[in-house]
Amino acid sequence: MIRDALAQDATAIADIWNPVIRDSAITFNPVEKTPQDIISLIEQARADRHAFLVADEGGQVRGFARYFQFRAGQGYARCMEHTIYLHPQAHGRGMGHALMTALETHARGRGMRMLIGALTASNAPSIAFHHRLGFTEVGRIPDAGWKFGIHHDLVLMQKLLLTD
């Protein structure tokens, strides 16, 4: 079941997110999230009328997705960046697709024009996932990220939700 994230989900979200932060270059951010950090992100999403969703399976959080403004300023008010992560046991079971579908529906319902994914170029499964969902690669920034002592390329992928 896909539902809104709650403060009590923060530890489970951290348990999904922090191994990715700590052990991979999927995100360039080296700083792990505390449950309080995540509660703040959930509260900010609610205040901004943006989505922060979880995939709940039998009362256990198996993944999460959220969107937030791509860049600051009114000119970007309808251009959203998203984040999606799954628990390793949730991969290949349709939860990522369900989360992204719900995220897109929410964003479209709030008048958001597009979603942008900023992906590590070496993360081929995520790039393929986004292609399957109708995202198009719109740019690459060589050496944009730094992690584990090396530079990583960033791939920008976009999906138009509204064409007005």
Secondary structure (DSSP) of 10-56: HHHHHHHHHHHHHH-SSS---SPPPHHHHHHHHHHHHHHT--EEEEE
Question: What is the average per-residue pLDDT within 36-61?
Answer: 97
15, two tokens:
């348990």
- Residue 58: the pLDDT is 93
- Residue 60: the pLDDT is 96
The CATH number fitting domain 2-160, selected from 1.10.10.10, 3.40.630.30, 3.30.420.40, 1.10.150.120: 3.40.630.30
- Residue 62: the pLDDT is 97
Pairing of strands 79-86, 114-120: parallel
Q: Would you list the domain boundaries of the chain?
A: 2-160
Question: What is the average per-residue pLDDT within 70-87?
Answer: 97
- Residue 61: the pLDDT is 98
- Residue 164: the pLDDT is 77
What are 105-125's pLDDT values in tens digits? 999 999 999 999 999 999 999
Residue 151's DSSP bridge partners are: 146
Tell me the whole-structure pTM to 2 decimals.
Answer: 0.95
- Residue 163: the pLDDT is 86
What are 5-14's pLDDT values in tens digits? 999 999 999 9
- Residue 54: the pLDDT is 98
Flag whether pLDDT at 1 surpasses 90.
yes
Confidence of residue 135 (pLDDT cuts 50, 70, 90): very high
